Amino acid sequence: MLKKDIQETIKKACPLMIRLAWHSAGTYDTKDGSGGSNGATMRHKLEASDDANNGLDIARKMLNPIKSKHGISYSDLWSLSGTMAIELMGGPSIEHVPGRIDKDETQCPANGRLPDGSLGAQHLRDIFYRMGFNDQEIVALSGAHTVGSCHKERSGFEGAWTTNPYVFDNQYFQNLLKYSWTLHDGQYESNGLIMLPTDMALLTDEGFKPYVEKYAKYPLIFFKDFEQAFHKLMMNGHPSKL
């Protein structure tokens, strides 16, 4: 019944639910175990005010009735909704391990831990290495941009990465390689699509590009690697790992 209610709620907002789960977990720091998917601290003003989380109040509010009905923790609800959203759009099935608890505002991580789309390869490594990811996992997780789109009022960018922003596939990587991208107003554009500076860094960095080429050519390998990397992201900070 819980999953049915989630499915009915998120079916028209799947990319937004992935972003909620991603940004909730993406604050993790391997050095001290702070941040991560355990806690749902984005519901507090400090973390919600991080510019990277603009617009995610929409997703949180959509899920509130399910929280009230089923008594699930916010942090389990957000992570489960993200994994379900991926599968609903045709992506891989990702194991969801419950057991997260919700924390008060004193446990909010500092703002600035999430990726900034206007920066480059070194920034990506700084952010993802802090969470325990390697170059291959960075590229795999970046593949989440195969769904959804940017909104100027939220991120400062505008447009979609693919022609099917509600279908989870490997078109993001194919487009990176296929088109010639031109920088315009802080974002790269081609054929009515966009790429962010962090996306283009995957092409220009010699450590990242081989994985872009692999995932563009072999969608099943991308699905497998994304499944493993996203599961790891959702488990960062999970009580079972403490």
Q: Of 22, 78, 161, 181, which is the active-site residue? A: 161
**Which residues are within 8 A (CB) of 183 and not within 5 positions of it... i.e. 6 or more apart?**
none
Residue 54 in contact with residue 155, Cβ under 8 Å? yes
For residue 229, which amino acid is it?
A: A
- Looking from the CA of 225 toward its CB, the CA atoms found within 13 Å total 24
Verify whether residue 78 is a known catalytic residue. no
For residue 45, which amino acid is it?
A: K
Instruction: Give the integer Cα–Cα distance in Å for 201 and 150.
Output: 18
Instruction: Give the integer Cα–Cα distance in Å for 90 and 167.
Output: 6
User: Apex CA 176: angle with CA 170 and CA 181, to 5°?
Assistant: 150
Verify whether residue 145 is a known catalytic residue. no
Alpha helices (H) in 49-163, listed in sequence order: 56-70, 74-88, 121-130, 135-142, 152-155
With residues binned 3-state (H G I as helix, E B as strand, rest as coil), the percentages for the chain, rounded to 5, are: 55, 5, 40
Instruction: Give the integer Cα–Cα distance in Å for 94 and 84.
Output: 8
Q: Of 23, 78, 145, 238, which is the active-site residue? A: 23
Catalytic residue list: 23, 161
